[in-house]
Amino acid sequence: MMKDIATPSRTKDILARHRFSFKKSLGQNFLIDPNILQRITETAGLTKETGVIEIGPGIGALTEHLARSAGKVVAFEIDQRLLPILDETLAPYNNVKVINEDVLKADVKTVVEQEFAEFDRLMVVANLPYYVTTPIIMKLLEDKIPVNGFVVMLQKEVGDRISAEPSSKEYGSLSIAVQYYTEASIAFIVPKTVFMPPPNVDSAIIKLDVRDKPAVSVEDEDFFFTVTRTSFAQRRKTILNNLVNGLPDGKEKKEHITSALEEAGIEPSRRGETLSLAEFASLSKTLLKKGIGK
């Protein structure tokens, strides 16, 4: 068995040999604890029948663990300086492909069709760059990439928001957007000390199981998400105020919005954070029925 990449001494050695310096703008924090990597892999439930998409492999510390457990790993790495390092560190594994592309601009659907045709199960497993965590997760969900789930590391605070329940201070439009597509839970917390360099925040591993069909049925997904975002525009304001101020023609259609809320069984004086996904679904339907959002 090869010595893990993710030990402090081996990481330092690899970085020194390649004269690699961290780019703050890319949110580069490399994991240096093999036990954490093993736990991530176990949380994802990988087998040789599973394909894995990784985003931001760094020097390959997590990639190596994924390659040992999964059938195939395709990793998107934006930083060209890391390609020669990955060539070297991942040389022992013939089931890994590195794509030098920004995953936010990549045609991930085509990559999945080309690379994972023979796999029944596909997971996204990654230590995500913290500055683009939400856009990456939302892109993959909104583009309906056919993955079964995500096991990703992100800022603990973002993990709390994604997995939050109604009426908690973390609950917001991000909670709703992710929970509409997935069942979300925090698997475990990762301390700052297991990274090089250590980030300023604690991290969490979040597990998202993609639902067979969305959590609630809506007529118009875009409008549903517009309603949820608008409802949280100013958290201290009532849902009526936020919708009147935020929806197109809201001010002229205040009476219609009030009656839509009442018809959906929602007190206009409630705040957005108290509404469940089902209530938001019902509200977006009644608003459309009243001609708002069309």
127 is in an annotated binding site: yes
- Is 95 within any annotated ligand binding site? no
Cα gap 127→147, rounded to integer Å: 17
Segment among 48-52, 271-275, 289-293 with least mean pLDDT: 289-293
261 found inside a domain: yes
- What's the domain count of the chain? 2
Query: Which amino acid type is present at position 65?
Result: H
Whether residue 31 has pLDDT greater than 90: no
2 domain-assigned:
no
- Burial of residue 170 (CB within 10 Å: 0-12, 13-18, 19+) is middle
The H or E element containing residue 39 is helix 34-43
pLDDT computed for residue 29 by the predictor: 75
Domain closes at, from 210, 236, 270: 210
Distance CA 188, CA 183 (A): 16
Which amino acid would we find at residue 19? R
Cβ neighbours for 59, distance < 8 A, ≥ 6 positions apart: 5, 11, 14, 15, 20, 30, 82, 85, 86, 89
Q: What is the pLDDT of residue 159?
A: 96
CB 72 within 8 Å of CB 116: yes
CB atoms near residue 211 (< 10 Å): 12
Model pTM score:
0.93
Q: How confident is the model at residue 27 (pLDDT cuts 50, 70, 90)?
A: low
Asked whether residue 30 carries a pLDDT value surpassing 90, the answer given is: no
Q: Convert the pLDDT of each residue in 149-197 to its tens digit.
A: 999 999 999 999 999 999 999 999 999 999 999 999 999 999 998 988 8
Decide if 1 is inside a domain: no
Q: How many CA atoms lie within 13 A of 57 on its CB side?
A: 34
* Residue 29 annotated as part of some ligand binding site: yes
Whether 215 is in a domain gets the answer no
102 assigned binding-site residue: yes
Q: Is residue 100 a known part of a binding site? A: no
Q: Give percent of the chain with pLDDT exceeding 70.
A: 97
CA 251 to each of CA 170, 219, 226, 254, 255: distance values in angstroms, whole numbers, following the listed order:
28, 24, 16, 5, 9
**pLDDT above 90 as % of the chain:** 79
Residues 213-245: pLDDT tens digits?
A: 999 999 999 999 999 999 999 989 999 999 999
Answer yes or no: is 255 within a domain.
Answer: yes
pLDDT reported for residue 91? 95
**Do 182 and 239 fall within a single domain?**
no
- Residues near 114 by beta carbon (within 8 Å), at least 6 away in sequence: none
Let me know if residue 117 belongs to a domain: yes
Query: Which CATH number characterizes residue 26's domain?
Result: 3.40.50.150
Half-sphere exposure for 117 (CA within 13 Å, toward CB): 4
For 280, the domain range is: 221-289
* Domain identity same for 159 and 60: yes
Q: What is the phi-psi region of residue 70: left when phi exceeds 0, alpha when psi lies from -120 to 50, beta otherwise?
A: beta
Give pLDDT, residue 8: 87
The pairing of strands 182-190 and 121-127 is: unpaired
209 annotated to bind ligand: no
**Is 164 a domain residue?**
yes
N-term to C-term CA, the chain: 61
The CATH number assigned to the domain holding 276 equals 1.10.8.100
Q: Residue with structure tokens 């997935």?
A: 182
